[in-house]
């Protein structure tokens, strides 16, 4: 069918690349391009004997538009799948514009010096992408990503109007370390140490970090404490789901994680402001990342399950209705299949599916789009087929 250039070769990219290689009918050729080429070469060596997909590798600095343009012009992909860090979103979008190539990512742009993710920078590309006749699909991970698809599916099949959405992200996995993060530590800690917020009646309500706590009994996992966080899909769903009154996002954290995080914050280790150390500028959070376990190394040690989904409340045929859509994913099953834990798996699979739907033209319109703006049905079918089957509950326990 076609060619995909994948930028980044970390935890999420590794899963997406395994999945592309299982799907050779669509991904005939892939180019893995990242900052550290040896990681791309190691993955190629592992996967090439197992797949009909032809794998190429390259070194690239994705902060450099000219380097990206040169590589895209050489490989001529149908789509660029950005699985580097949120800081690279805009340079990669610029390179896609310059070469008229479709674009898919899993996380919205965030400037390096401000821990604040918003869609405004990427939405500002709408006209340019439309005029160039190319498609950008934003946030094709699990959350954001599948949560937007779930919302569009609920609206299409189960509601006339959705008034409340609670997104619940539960990781019941245990990696045995006192403190480690399940995806890029820098991005993860920036996210959880920021103020929380939720969307209500057309405006943001801001909270202190971890101020709002609830307990929920998750199927497949059990009872967990969860905390309200700001999350990027709240912004796009607030605009794209008609009749919406409130959207909240909750993530579970264990006590050990929170105690360590508080201590690291109190001593200044989570700061993103550069400091001078022995004559050299370092960013404390980047230094912390260097001493923490690499999320990619957690796979063999992590046991337990994740349960991520959305609880919807709204109206159908004049009646009040509730509906819960979720996926349960087993860390060890993921590890056996692709050598990664479930956090990378639940992001990497939707990343492959998003790239596939754009490449095959099933989800492809000129412009810049969020997940809930396309027909959810092909994505929902692909989730069942490619390893993230979903379950539904028509009488869920609600979050107060
Ligand atoms: P990793 O840190 O494991 O991987 C990032 C990769 O990007 C590394 O291979 C890194 O290279 C590469 N990279 C970083 N900077 C550059 C650059 N300037 N040029 C080229 N390559 C670069 O991160 P994850 O795999 O955990 O996360 C990947 C993305 O997925 C992130 O944007 C994250 O926010 C997002 N994500 C989305 C989720 C969702 O549900 N939507 C959930 C989890 C993550 P090197 O190997 O040299 O460090």
Query: Which pLDDT score, from 0 to 100, does residue 115 have?
Result: 64
Q: How many angstroms does the Cα of residue 378 sit away from the middle of ligand 1?
A: 26
Which residue is associated with the tokens 């754009």?
Answer: 358
Backbone phi, psi, residue 231, to 5°: -150, 150
Query: Which pLDDT score, from 0 to 100, does residue 187 have?
Result: 83
Distance (Å, rounded) from C-alpha 185 to C-alpha 146?
22
Distance (Å, rounded) from C-alpha 322 to C-alpha 314?
7
Ligand 1 atom with the shortest distance to the CA of 9? 9
Distance (Å, rounded) from C-alpha 256 to C-alpha 315?
40
> Helix, strand, or coil here: 318?
coil
Distance (Å, rounded) from C-alpha 116 to C-alpha 153?
29
Q: Which two tokens stand for residue 252?
A: 């579970």
Which residues are within 8 A (CB) of 361 and not within 5 positions of it... i.e. 6 or more apart? none
Q: Residues in the chain with pLDDT < 50? A: none
Q: How far is CA 31 from the centre of its chain?
A: 21
Query: Which pLDDT score, from 0 to 100, does residue 111 have?
Result: 84
DSSP of 195-250, one letter per residue?
A: PEEEEETTEEEEE-TT--EEEEEETTTEEEEEEE---THHHHHHHHSTT--EEEEE
Q: How many angstroms does the Cα of residue 342 sit away from the middle of ligand 1?
A: 16
Q: Is the CB of 13 under 6 A from ligand 1?
A: yes
Query: Which pLDDT score, from 0 to 100, does residue 145 have?
Result: 98
CA distance readout (Å), 14 to 41, 286, 307, 335, 362: 12, 22, 21, 12, 24
pTM: 0.95
Residue-wise pLDDT tens digits, 123-156:
999 999 999 999 999 999 999 999 999 999 999 9
- Atom 8 of ligand 1, nearest CA residue: 10
Q: Which two tokens stand for residue 319?
A: 């009646």
Query: Which pLDDT score, from 0 to 100, does residue 167 have?
Result: 98
Q: Is the CB of 62 under 6 A from ligand 1?
A: yes
Instruction: Please report how the helices 233-240 and 146-157 are oriented relative to each other, as an axis angle in degrees rounded to 10.
Output: 20
Query: Which pLDDT score, from 0 to 100, does residue 321 have?
Result: 98
């Amino acid at each position: 069918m076609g060619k995909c250039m994948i930028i980044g070769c970390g935890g999420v990219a590794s899963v997406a690349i395994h999945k592309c290689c299982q799907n050779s009918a669509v991904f005939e050729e892939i180019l893995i391009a990242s900052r550290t080429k040896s990681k791309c070469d190691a993955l190629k060596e592992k996967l090439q004997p197992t797949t009909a997909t032809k794998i190429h590798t390259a070194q690239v600095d994705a902060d450099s538009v000219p380097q990206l343009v040169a590589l895209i012009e050489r490989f001529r992909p149908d789509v660029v799948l950005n699985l580097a860090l949120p800081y690279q979103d805009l340079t990669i979008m610029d390179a896609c514009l310059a070469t008229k190539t479709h674009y898919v990512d899993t996380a919205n742009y965030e400037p390096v010096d401000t821990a604040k993710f918003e869609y405004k920078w990427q939405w500002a590309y709408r006209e340019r992408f439309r005029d160039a006749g190319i498609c950008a699909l934003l946030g094709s991970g699990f959350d954001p990503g599948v949560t937007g698809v779930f919302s569009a599916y609920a609206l299409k099949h189960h509601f006339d109007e959705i008034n409340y959405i609670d997104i619940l992200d539960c990781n019941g996995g245990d990696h045995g370390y006192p403190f480690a993060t399940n995806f890029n530590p820098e991005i993860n800690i920036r996210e959880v140490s920021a103020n929380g917020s939720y969307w209500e009646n057309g405006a943001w309500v801001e909270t202190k970090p971890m101020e709002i706590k609830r307990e929920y009994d998750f199927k497949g996992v059990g009872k967990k404490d969860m905390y309200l966080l700001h999350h990027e899909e709240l912004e796009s769903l607030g605009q794209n789901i008609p009749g919406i009154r409130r959207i909240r996002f909750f993530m579970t954290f264990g006590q050990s994680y929170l105690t360590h995080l508080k201590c690291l914050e109190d001593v200044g280790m989570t700061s993103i402001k550069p400091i001078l150390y022995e004559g050299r500028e370092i960013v404390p959070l980047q230094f912390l990342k260097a001493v923490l376990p690499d999320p990619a190394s957690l796979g063999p040690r992590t046991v337990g399950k994740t349960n991520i989904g959305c609880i919807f409340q709204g109206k159908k045929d004049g009646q009040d209705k509730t509906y819960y859509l979720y996926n349960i994913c087993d860390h060890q099953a993921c590890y056996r299949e692709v050598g990664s834990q479930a956090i990378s798996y639940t992001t990497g699979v939707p990343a492959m599916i998003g790239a596939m739907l754009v490449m095959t033209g099933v989800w492809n319109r000129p412009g810049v789009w969020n997940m809930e703006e396309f027909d959810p049905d092909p994505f929902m079918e692909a989730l069942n087929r490619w390893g993230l089957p979903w379950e539904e509950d028509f009488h869920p326990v609600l979050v107060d």
